[in-house]
A and B are shown apart, each in its own frame.
Chain A
């Protein structure tokens, strides 16, 4: 059985994430203990809310260093929503804030209008398609293994990740003609802007892939 540690830092509903991982056969521990985070087998950083609040809560609990240390080990890491955004270096959300810096890039506000000047609702809430970056965009052996381009997952966000290197951008979605980053990757560190735990069978598939990431790569 896979042992998953979910970081509890006071930002949002961990229960849904826990239930989804348990449904996929994992044993889940929810903790804010730096020691348990550092020695985790699989680490999940969920969270909803503002970037600055999230980082402040992590720092206040002394969790920034343990999370960075965990990521350096190369063991599987998954950031979800705010947890994914905090994997980047900085955010422009109500000021400039520093993130966990696991992946080069920043978090920016979703533009208020599309390329053709039409406005859209913010937050971007709802089911949207996952799109590969390249025509032959390869999701094999990643958490998106077996997911077909165009498959839909559930998003709720007002800010969007902008990784510096295209190689860290695993998938995008398109919102009113704007291309928004949907998933990021660096080695075994993954981030999903969408909520896999709320994305029905596609989301559960992604969680199972994450739990099987080592054997997928073999």
Chain B
């Protein structure tokens, strides 16, 4: 039992900053009824029932789940709602759902199905006011701004949407700042260049946004090993790390990721 007030959350210093438990998030990209895994946001491989994967990760100790409905056409919305509804029956950790949320009403339906947060990209680019509307109606903790970033050059990224297919001409750094000002509670930051590569995160991207904004940044896209996770936490200053490839292909269990984090002095929930 700890008697004294533990300083800095009982954590250790990283580059002079205090460390909190890094959130480990399983990202499940969903197409219709299937979990899929993409390579650089193209070329999809069907992996199976997303609920089974989510439950496995929950039982192994994952901190959060993100479902991304990558088709999200009007006709297939019921699939994701059913997946979310089933998830809420036996998974008691935060669940974020993204893909195809175009209005406050869409967000309400997803939340009503059992999600805790919505991640919005395309509709926010087309109508930034949606960020404020969702944040005001359900609270900023519900409003995750999803940004797909493609590197343009040193310290420059362009925002994309539709799973990395459509470019916007919008500068990611400015967009993230604007999203925060409009009321986003978190940023889900996916590197299109690294997504599916299993070659590590875009560290500079994550660090740029995480240091700029006072809200949490979830690093997504590229994790191939715990080395990558360590780098994006220590150097990229990610508040949370989304992983897909390493879990879906069974390279690590969640428990193994956590053990490896602890061994390296990265604080995670145990």
Q: Residues of A with Cβ closer than 8 Å to B?
A: 12-13, 15-16, 19-20, 23, 48-50, 114-116, 118-123, 125-129, 131-132, 135-137, 149-150, 152, 154, 156, 174-177, 179, 195, 197-200, 203-204
Contacts and interface: CB of A to CB of B under 8 A. Distances in A.
Interface in B1-34: 1-3, 5-10, 16-18, 20-21, 23
A131 B10 CA distance: 11
Contacts of A137: 1
A121 B23 contact: no
Given A131-B2, A152-B269, A177 B141 contact: no
A126 B20 CA distance: 9
Contacts of A48: 138-139, 141-142
A127 B63 contact: yes
Contact of A126 (B23, B90, B111, B116): B23
A121 B239 contact: yes
B89 interface: yes
Given A121-B239, A127-B269, A198 B116 contact: yes
Contact of B239 (A126, A128, A135): A126
B23 A122 contact: no
B83 interface: no
Most buried by A among B16, B113, B141: B141
B148 interface: no
A63 B269 CA distance: 38
B9 A125 contact: no
Contacts of A199: 92-93
Nearest to A197: B92
Interface string B176-209: 0000000001100000000000000000000000
A149 B2 contact: yes
Contact of B8 (A122, A125, A149, A176): A176
Contacts of B61: 200
B220 to A, nearest CB: 16
Most buried by A among B5, B18, B61, B139: B139
Interface of B: 1-3, 5-10, 16-18, 20-21, 23, 58, 61, 63, 88-90, 92-94, 111-116, 138-142, 185-186, 214-216, 239-240, 269-270
Query: Which 6 residue pairs across A and B have the least CB separation, nearest first?
Result: A127-B269, A135-B3, A49-B139, A156-B141, A48-B139, A152-B269
B84 to A, nearest CB: 10
Given A16-B114, A203-B92, A204-B92, 9 more contacts: A13-B111, A13-B138, A16-B92, A120-B20, A125-B186, A125-B216, A127-B23, A127-B269, A174-B9
Contacts of B6: 131, 174
A176 B2 CA distance: 17
A15 B85 CA distance: 10
Nearest to A19: B88
11 contacts: A16-B116, A19-B88, A121-B215, A126-B21, A126-B63, A131-B6, A137-B1, A152-B21, A154-B93, A176-B9, A197-B92
B65 to A, nearest CB: 11
A16 B88 contact: yes
Given A122-B214, A174-B9, A23 B63 contact: no
Contacts of A121: 214-216, 239
Given A15-B112, A128-B20, A154-B94, A123 B138 contact: no
